[in-house]
Structure 1
Amino acid sequence: ANIMGRVFMHPELDDPFKSAEAILDACPLKEQADAIVFDFHAEATSEKQCFGHFVDGRASFVVGTHTHVPTADAQILNGGTAYMSDAGMCGDYDSSLGMEKEEPLNRFISKMPKGRFEAASGPATICGVGVEISDVTGLAEKIAPLRLGPRLAETIPDFWR
């Protein structure tokens, strides 16, 4: 399920915690689902972390998205849910959030737009996360970041080799 956070984003959106509770009630882990994965699309890492703790033991994996930068907090929470605050983006990291950096930089300096944001077209780095989930419990057994490409230190989950 994709859940949207509200802090620094859209406070008018549905409560992400109530939305998750409805999903978990309708489709409980190991009763109606072999695995439950939440993509928590949010700005604030505090909201992402609290969401991970909220569903801990009831979901297989929570991965944060939206901030475009991979975090170094891949872990298995106490209840068995894999968690990472942000998987990072797939794209050109010689950019501003995947956009050619000149126009965003101009807007920070001059506070005035000169043109449109254009997608950066340099070599892409792929960022993500690998998770191994137990067939018995539906909870996480392993989690590790994935990064492939020219800009960031490459890493591949050991359990994928």
Structure 2
Amino acid sequence: GDHAFDQKDLLSYVEREPRIIRPLNYAREAPGRGHAVVEDRRGRKVLVAQALGQVFMSRPYDDPFSALDTVLRAHPPGGMVCAAIVDIHAEATSEKMGIGHFCDGRTSLVVGTHTHVPTADAQILPRGTAYQSDAGMCGDYDSIIGMEKTEPLRRFVTGMTRDRFSPAEGEATLSGVLVATDDRTGLATAIEPVREGGRLMQTHP
């Protein structure tokens, strides 16, 4: 997402590692690629692409709709690929939903990331694309979006910075979505949120 190149080592590593993609609509001069076609264990080809939203983001990225349109036209599900997955890394749920409906019938799944909190809107859109506004983070939910709580709370309460943020290190929850697709059309037949372990799975009497 927007943190793709926070670790400077990735600048060279992303060029050599085919399993890593960067956002499609990042700067054109950035290393790496914004989509990849990978094969699953049965040899089926799957398109994976990521785009950054523009609304409320820290810098003006290129248009995610046109960037995705170019890639999806070249990789229709049920044609060159058996399935297509789009990760829309964005702040605004309205923009994520816009991408979902823009891609409906053209991808197997559109799933949002960036806000770290899983949403309760998993669904199959009218033309067959599975959708969820945010899959949620994989990490410790006894935190403030994955960070140890003391410093974020201090900044909210006082408006002042004392220390750097540090990751919360309690029990992690794995969050995501499980999607079944039709091999013939590449469209979704089912979607189910995945939440395993950690605080999101705890219940109270």
Question: How does the TM-score come out when normalised to structure 1?
Answer: 0.92
User: In structure 2, what is the equivalent of residue 142 of structure 1?
Assistant: 190
Deviation digits for residues 48-73 of structure 1 (CA, Å, limit 9, x no counterpart): 00110001001110000000000000
Say which of 125, 131, 146 aligns to 1:98.
146
> Percent sequence identity over matched residues?
58
Q: Are 1:129 and 2:177 counterparts? A: yes
- Select 1:110's aligned residue among 147, 158, 172: 158
Residues 1:51 and 2:99 aligned together: yes
Verify: 1:21 aligned to 2:69, yes or no. Answer: yes
Contact 2:110 2:129 in 1 (8 A): yes
How large is the Cα RMSD of the aligned pairs? Answer: 1.1
CA apart distance, 1:10: 4.1
Using the TM superposition, give the Cα deviation of residue 150 of structure 1 relative to its aligned residue in structure 2, in angstroms. Answer: 2.8
Higher relative contact order (CA 8 A, sep 6+): 1
Equivalent residue for 1:3? 51
Question: How much does 1:11 deviate?
Answer: 5.0
Question: Unaligned regions of 5+ residues in structure 1, if any?
Answer: 155-161
Query: So what's the TM-score if we normalise by structure 2?
Result: 0.73
1:13-92 to 2 correspondence within 5 Å?
A: 13-92=61-140
SS at match of 2:166: coil
- CA distance in 1 between counterparts of 2:53 and 2:169 reads 29
2:183, 2:177 → 1: CA distance? 19
Matches within 5 A, 1:144-159: 144-153=192-201
Deviations 1:53-105 (A, max 9, x none): 00100111000000000000000000000000000011110000100011011
- Structure 1 stretches of at least 4 aligned residues deviating more than 4 Å after TM superposition: none
Gaps of 5+ in 2: 1-48
Q: CA deviation at 1:153?
A: 3.2
Q: Equivalents in 2 of 1:135, 1:29: separation in Å?
A: 9
Q: Is this contact kept in 1: 2:140–2:198, CA < 8 A?
A: no
Structure 2 contact 78–183 (Cα < 8 Å) conserved: no
Instruction: Measure how far apart 1:14 and its partner are.
Output: 1.0
Q: Provide the C-alpha distance between the structure 1 equivalents of 2:105 and 2:128, rounded to a whole number of angstroms.
A: 5
Give CA-to-partner distance per residue, 1:91-123, whole Å, 9 cap, x none.
Answer: 110000100011011011111101000000111
